[in-house]
């Protein structure tokens, strides 16, 4: 049955192509599988019908070879093998044609790359010529307008652009001065807070104003050497801190005003 075998092999080839593109649930795949099953079922029925007809003819003629079931199975196997070979040959020819097409496409890839590179080069050349022509057209139109007005302009660069040696922002001198004043304000504020937290009396009048009691007299404090050294140390710390602050401010002002940034 070469017609059915050919149709079955053709549909199987189409089914392979569809499975490479779609899943098994795709309508085209399902329809092709259904047709293949129907054709195989039809082929099986026709094979059985032909076998029955051969058996009936052999019974009438008395041919033992035809009635032998082993011979019949061998004939069926031979016919199926021939059908498989025919289908495989059809698939081989199909794959060979695809191989030739892919080989031809692969040979065309370098040619297409060369054509693309040539087109890019031509495009760059044409683009450069177009830009040149546009600039020349603008220059010609400007010259024509000047000639129509009767005046010719002569452009010269009088003051070329340059980078200023002074920074635009921020104002470093102002920032340094504000920082210096802020530091002094913080120091004075801290001293005032400490005097309020730990108050002291500097004369008799202050004691009388606070206590509202008569003051009979005063006794001078005798400074021990240890207290004197502690007091001198505090004075040195204060003088050193204030001197460091003034020195830092002076250095910053010197760098800002004297040393020019490059």
Q: Is residue 163 part of a domain?
A: no
What's the confidence (pLDDT) of residue 115?
84
Same domain, 84 and 25: yes
Q: H/E/C letters for each residue in 17-44?
A: HHHHHCCCCCHHHHHHHHHHHHHHHHHH
Same domain, 115 and 226: no
Contacts of 166 (CB under 8 A, 6+ apart): 260, 261
The answer to whether 12 and 90 are in contact (CB under 8 A) is: no
Same domain, 135 and 21: yes
Same domain, 119 and 53: yes
What's the confidence (pLDDT) of residue 70?
67
Name the E strands within 49-166.
Answer: none
What's the confidence (pLDDT) of residue 262?
45
Residue whose entry in the numeric block shows the structure tokens 């602050």: 245
Structural domain span for residue 246:
172-257
What's the confidence (pLDDT) of residue 144?
65
Residue whose entry in the numeric block shows the structure tokens 């044609």: 97
Same domain, 136 and 218: no
Residue whose entry in the numeric block shows the structure tokens 């011979």: 71
Same domain, 106 and 210: no
Report CA dihedral (19, 22, 27, 28) to the nearest 10 degrees. Answer: -50
Q: How far apart are CA 37 and CA 81, in angstroms?
A: 19
Domain edge (last residue) among 147, 182, 209: 147
Same domain, 119 and 34: yes
What's the confidence (pLDDT) of residue 188?
87
Q: How far apart are CA 144 and CA 39, in angstroms?
A: 85
Q: Is the peptide bond before 255 cis (omega within 30 degrees of 0)?
A: no
Same domain, 13 and 67: yes
pLDDT in tens, 98-147: 778 877 777 777 788 888 888 888 888 888 888 888 888 887 777 766 55
Q: What is the pLDDT along the chain (262 residues), one digit of tens a residue?
A: 667 778 888 888 888 888 888 888 888 888 888 888 888 888 888 877 877 777 676 666 655 454 456 666 777 777 777 777 777 787 788 788 877 887 777 777 778 888 888 888 888 888 888 888 888 888 777 776 655 655 555 666 677 777 776 666 677 788 888 888 998 888 888 888 887 887 777 778 888 887 888 877 777 777 778 888 888 898 899 888 888 888 988 888 888 777 655 4
Q: Is residue 153 part of a domain?
A: no
Number of domains in the chain: 2
């Amino acid at each position: 049955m070469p017609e059915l075998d050919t149709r079955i092999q053709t549909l199987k080839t189409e089914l392979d192509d569809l499975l490479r593109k779609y899943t098994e649930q795709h309508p085209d795949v399902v329809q092709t599988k259904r047709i293949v099953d129907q054709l195989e079922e039809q082929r099986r029925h026709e094979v059985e019908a032909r076998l029955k007809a051969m058996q009936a003819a052999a019974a009438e003629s008395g041919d033992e070879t035809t009635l032998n079931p082993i011979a019949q199975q061998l004939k069926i196997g031979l016919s199926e093998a021939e059908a498989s070979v025919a289908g495989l040959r059809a698939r081989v020819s199909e794959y060979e044609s695809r191989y030739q097409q892919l080989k031809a496409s692969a040979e065309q890839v370098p040619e297409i790359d060369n054509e693309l590179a040539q087109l890019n080069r031509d495009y760059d050349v044409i683009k450069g010529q177009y830009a040149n022509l546009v600039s020349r057209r603008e220059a010609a139109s400007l010259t024509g307008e000047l000639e129509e007005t009767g005046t010719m302009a002569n452009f010269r660069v009088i003051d070329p652009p340059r980078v200023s040696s002074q920074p635009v922002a921020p104002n470093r001198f102002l920032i340094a001065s504000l920082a210096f004043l802020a530091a002094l304000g913080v120091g004075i504020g801290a001293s005032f807070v400490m005097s309020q937290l730990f108050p002291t009396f500097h004369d008799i009048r202050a004691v009388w104003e606070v206590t509202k009691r008569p003051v009979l007299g005063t006794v001078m404090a005798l400074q021990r050497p240890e207290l004197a050294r502690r007091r001198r140390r505090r004075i040195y710390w204060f003088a050193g801190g204030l001197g460091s602050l003034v020195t830092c401010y002076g250095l910053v002002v010197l760098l800002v005003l004297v040393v020019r940034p490059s």
